[in-house]
Amino acid sequence: MKANEIEKYLMDTYGKVVHDVNRMEVACEEVAYIHDVKPKEIFHFMVENKSIEGLHTHSYGFNTAYGRQLKAQFSVMYDSM
């Protein structure tokens, strides 16, 4: 997802944007590349806690260790920019 798509989605869905969409774009792309998934899947995992098929990110509605690892990687990427 591109920064403008992220901003539009957040505005349409939540009515505001409180994060840097450019940093979100890059973090989504980097983490998606590492785990061989689409950046849009990472975005929805981070924003809406949606599971990512094939990565076992959730168990009984909670994040697995792998899911928590993805969130930590995203956070490091986002904060490092």
Condensed to tens digits (0 to 9), the pLDDT of residues 26-49 reads 999 999 999 999 999 999 999 999
- CA angle 68–69–70, rounded 5-degree value: 90
| Mean pLDDT, residues 65-74 taken together | 97
- Whole-prediction pTM: 0.93
Q: Residue 30's domain spans which residues?
A: 3-79
Largest pairwise CA distance in the chain:
34
pLDDT at 51 over 90: yes
pLDDT at 1 over 90: no
* Domains of the chain: total: 1
Query: Rounded to whole angstroms, what are the CA distances from 24 to 56, 59, 60, 62, 65?
Result: 22, 25, 27, 23, 22
